[in-house]
Structure 1
């Protein structure tokens, strides 16, 4: 996967979020003159239905966050395989991930015979000085992706997240319930997904203006994450070129 493909993927997915936000804006404007109606019908969009529509944006935003993280890691793995790199050519942090993936060291309940098989496979790969063909990266953290988790993951890989100060400040600025944009999206998504929060209650008191700010903060942050990983794929995966993994902005 080329860095341009990674950026194109994000732009396409984020455009979907913007399109949905435009719908919410139109419904909100129509509400100024009373309950909006569907064209050519007498059906009204009730306040409860409007909240349900608003709440759905949190699910879409979280899907964007998780998909972006996954696609960034897939891009790193694909670049390693495409260049037919050998383990000794990988930057130290990335080599550690290859060992983790190949030897399956992160799987706690792996049976002893399976653990031995994985260790032997890695040993044969090293002895034969074979190029890396299949590199699957397990990011962990399912259902819990926010800016802190993304920064921790990037440090783990040695990827220098170059997040501008303005974008970082906007992403971490408290929007509601003492949470920044990405943390709020994660919290609302988990509440909806686990049933502890209804769609009607999720966006109670939330204005479309607040949703616009949330979308902008999440989008700007993820865009710079994608650009950082694109740069990492181009110049940071090989030994001697690895970045420090520090976030450029104050966090």
Structure 2
């Protein structure tokens, strides 16, 4: 019976991703973000449960990536589609109609994130070396980066930030940077502790403490900073080693 617990948590991740996708299609991006956060929570704990119960399985590995494809692949693509569509009120392609849909052709570039996420997850499934570290930005981290943008728009309501986030060229650039980071050769540390020693896990502890401080002080604006802090901390750790 215990072997089903991690897979059930993974299915809850998938369910959360499906609900998030529905909200994203309806352009309720705050609710989409909420269910993505819930899905990522289940995604984190399904692996912990599998290791704690010693019930890791090939089915669990495949199921995890399939669930991530929805929560951390399809949803951020839809969110970027919506953001690009919002940016088209006065930008290139505004008022256009594409393949019978009342949407700008440029908005469909958002699904580059979905395609890049699928490729990254497929590579991850056949790579046996990504245990204590990742090669390329993990899809949940990339999803948090993308989902932070509508939350900053909604809850920070700063004219300068709004102007940057709803600039079509910024969004297009971020889309391709995101696709590159997902499939880059960068080695990034995983938040998996083999022991609780500060000496062995100094970068992880400093990253977690720094992230907590940033979230308390900057709220949703902290999320993109934390993602790039994660990349920088991994680079520093690799240089040290």
TM above 0.5 = no
Return the structure number with greater relative CO, CA threshold 8 A, min gap 6. 1
Structure number with bigger Rg:
1
TM-score by length of 2: 0.39
Q: Normalized per residue, which structure has more helix?
A: 2
TM-score by length of 1: 0.38
